[in-house]
């Protein structure tokens, strides 16, 4: 696989919801920054014309970020459209003709995962894949076996170095900041280990429900939707060793090592919940046993993290919408403070970005009693910062793999959650607006409970 920049971008699913909400704004942003100087070909089976796709693109931008007329004109000048059936072999022959002299095209699959193998095979047989790259969205399979089957289909058409697996979470500035925060601050490394850290907690809370996506969500659930991918990626960034070099593969290799060192989950390490009223959502089965909440306890069997639990909780209809990491440190020797009131580092990843350091200070008045306080450093992102999809599409076209999941990492993550997929544990009902089932509190109780901001 050449390191040449892609000389064409083909996006399958051109008339779909993901392209409408995310990809057209990202393409306009790339055009504005001068990073989209290639033909852009949309492919879908909708009976549309190019003019209809252009109108769809303008409507998308009007609703999602605004139209930059100069950049939009550049995008339109490069935009092409192929109305065709993904299951028809002649589709890929027509696409090869439309690509013309392009020798290193990038193919972005904004389509249902069930079609990934079909499109990859079509691209391979037609010769379109030769010299090209493929970019695909998670989920990468539904379990370990299907992930391996998908990887085999991709390898049959593309070199492994030409496969870019998008987990858009890795394109977010706050998530990228985890690595910078860890390795660019020398005060952290001496204490970032089992000798000083008591536990690590990761929370991904959403105050809303399935938002009209009941049919999709009911086939996925919280573990497949965000734990196996987004949140295990966060675990790998928090737990990885310093990479030996700045080469992209070195960073990704260290992340994979963390996932491989993480024990497969046991049912004793899991609490599943479903919010009251979920089964009445449109598209949801009346007797659904899919979880809308999951709390887990992970164990990383490495020299650095032996004995330090990593706790994850993720769910819908919780009190707030936020994603946050809290690293709690052990109490000082002879200290009588409660276990959950020791020092901590809090990393808020969204919706706002914040870093807080929890410390003990003397309580005013007589005696030497201490109280917990937090030293806040809040960062508001630059308004011109790249969106995750702008960054990821641009990086994939440039051949930069650093922010993309590897085959080994995907399979290692599935290996961790494989034992708890499906109805491995009882489903606990919880009221909307609460922090999930009461049983989830027992996971962290020995460590002072779940961290609550404020």
Per-residue model confidence as pLDDT tens for the chain (454 residues): 456 899 999 999 999 999 999 999 999 999 999 999 999 999 999 999 999 999 999 999 999 989 999 999 999 999 999 999 999 999 999 999 999 999 999 999 999 888 999 999 999 999 999 999 999 988 899 999 999 999 999 999 999 899 999 887 777 888 888 888 888 889 899 999 999 999 999 999 999 999 888 998 999 999 999 999 999 999 999 999 998 876 667 888 999 999 999 999 999 999 999 999 999 999 999 999 999 999 999 999 999 999 999 999 999 999 999 999 999 999 988 888 888 888 999 999 888 888 899 888 877 877 777 788 888 876 655 555 788 899 999 999 999 888 888 999 999 999 999 999 999 999 999 999 999 999 999 999 999 999 986 4
DSSP summary character for residue 115:
G
CA gap 335, 188 in Å, rounded: 22
Instruction: Tell me which long-range contacts 216-219 makes (C-beta under 8 A, separation of at least 24).
Output: 216/283, 217/283, 217/284, 217/290, 217/292, 218/283, 218/284, 218/285, 218/288, 218/290, 219/290
In this prediction, residue 453 carries a pLDDT of 66
Distance CA 80, CA 8 (A): 11
Based on C-alpha coordinates, what's the Rg of the chain?
23
* Contact assessment for residue 389 and residue 23, using Cβ atoms and an 8 Å cutoff: yes
**Angle between helix 24-32 and 388-398 (nearest 10):** 70
Distances (CA, A) of 161 to 128, 150, 267: 16, 15, 36
Architecture of the 172-447 domain: 2-Layer Sandwich (3.30)
Pairing between β-strand 79-83 and β-strand 270-275 as defined by DSSP bridges: unpaired
How much is the pLDDT for 280? 96
Res 454: pLDDT: 45
pLDDT given at position 1: 42
Cis, peptide link before residue 16, omega less than 30° from 0: no
Please report the pLDDT score of residue 364 as a whole number: 82
Helix (H, G, I), strand (E, B) or coil at 126: helix
CA–chain centroid gap for 42, Å, is 25
Residue 250 has what pLDDT?
A: 84
How is residue 19 annotated by DSSP? I
Strand order in the sheet with 8-12: 79-83, 40-44, 8-12, 105-109, 133-137, 163-166
Question: Could you give the residue numbers annotated as active site?
Answer: 230
Measured CA to CA, the distance from residue 324 to residue 453 in angstroms comes to: 10
Domain definitions of the chain by residue range:
8-166, 172-447
**Measured CA distances, 242 to 183, 201, 239, 258, 304 (Å):** 7, 21, 10, 12, 12
The CATH number, out of the four listed (3.40.50.720, 3.20.20.140, 3.30.43.10, 3.30.70.260), of the domain defined by the range 8-166: 3.40.50.720
Check: CB of residue 264 under 8 Å from CB of residue 282.
no
- Which pTM was predicted? 0.91
């Amino acid at each position: 696989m050449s390191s040449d920049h892609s000389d064409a971008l083909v996006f399958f699913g051109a008339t779909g919801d993901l392209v409408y909400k995310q990809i057209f704004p990202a393409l306009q942003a790339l055009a504005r920054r001068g990073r989209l100087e290639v033909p852009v070909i949309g492919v879908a089976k909708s009976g549309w014309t190019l003019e209809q796709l252009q109108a769809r693109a303008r409507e998308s931008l009007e609703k999602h970020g605004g139209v930059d007329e100069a950049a939009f004109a550049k995008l339109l000048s490069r935009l092409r459209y192929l109305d065709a059936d993904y299951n028809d072999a002649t589709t890929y022959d027509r696409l090869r003709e439309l690509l013309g002299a392009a020798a290193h095209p990038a193919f972005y699959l904004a389509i249902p995962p069930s079609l990934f193998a079909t499109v990859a095979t079509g691209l391979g047989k037609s010769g379109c894949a030769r010299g090209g790259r493929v970019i695909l969205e998670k989920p990468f399979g539904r379990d370990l076996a299907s992930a391996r089957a998908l990887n085999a289909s991709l390898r049959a058409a593309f070199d492994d170095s030409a496969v870019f697996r998008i987990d858009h979470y890795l394109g977010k500035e706050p998530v990228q900041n985890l690595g910078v925060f860890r390795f660019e601050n020398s005060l952290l490394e001496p204490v970032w280990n089992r000798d000083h850290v008591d536990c690590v907690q990761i929370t991904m809370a959403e105050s809303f429900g399935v938002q009209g996506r009941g049919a999709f969500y009911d086939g996925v659930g919280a573990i497949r939707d965000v734990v196996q991918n987004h949140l295990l990626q966060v675990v790998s960034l928090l737990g990885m060793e310093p990479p030996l070099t700045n080469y992209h593969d070195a960073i990704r290799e260290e992340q994979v090592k963390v996932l491989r060192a993480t024990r497969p989950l046991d049912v004793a390490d899991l609490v599943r919940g479903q919010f009251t009223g979920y089964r009445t959502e449109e598209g949801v089965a009346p007797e659904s046993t899919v979880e809308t909440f999951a709390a887990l306890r992970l164990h990383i069997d490495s020299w650095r993290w032996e004995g330090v639990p990593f706790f994850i909780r993720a769910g819908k209809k919780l009190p707030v919408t936020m994603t946050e990491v809290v690293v709690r440190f052990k109490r000082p020797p002879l200290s009588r403070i409660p276990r959950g009131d020791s020092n901590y580092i809090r990393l808020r990843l969204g919706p706002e970005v914040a870093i807080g350091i929890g410390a003990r200070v003397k309580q005013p008045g007589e005696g030497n009693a201490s109280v917990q306080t937090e030293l806040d450093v809040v960062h508001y992102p630059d308004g011109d910062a790249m969106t995750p999809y702008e960054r990821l599409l641009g990086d994939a076209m440039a051949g930069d793999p650093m922010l993309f999941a590897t085959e080994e990492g995907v399979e290692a993550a599935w290996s961790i959650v494989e034992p708890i997929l499906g109805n491995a544990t009882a489903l606990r009902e919880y009221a909307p607006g609460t922090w999930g089932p009461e049983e989830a509190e027992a996971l962290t109780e020995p460590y002072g409970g779940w961290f609550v901001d404020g």
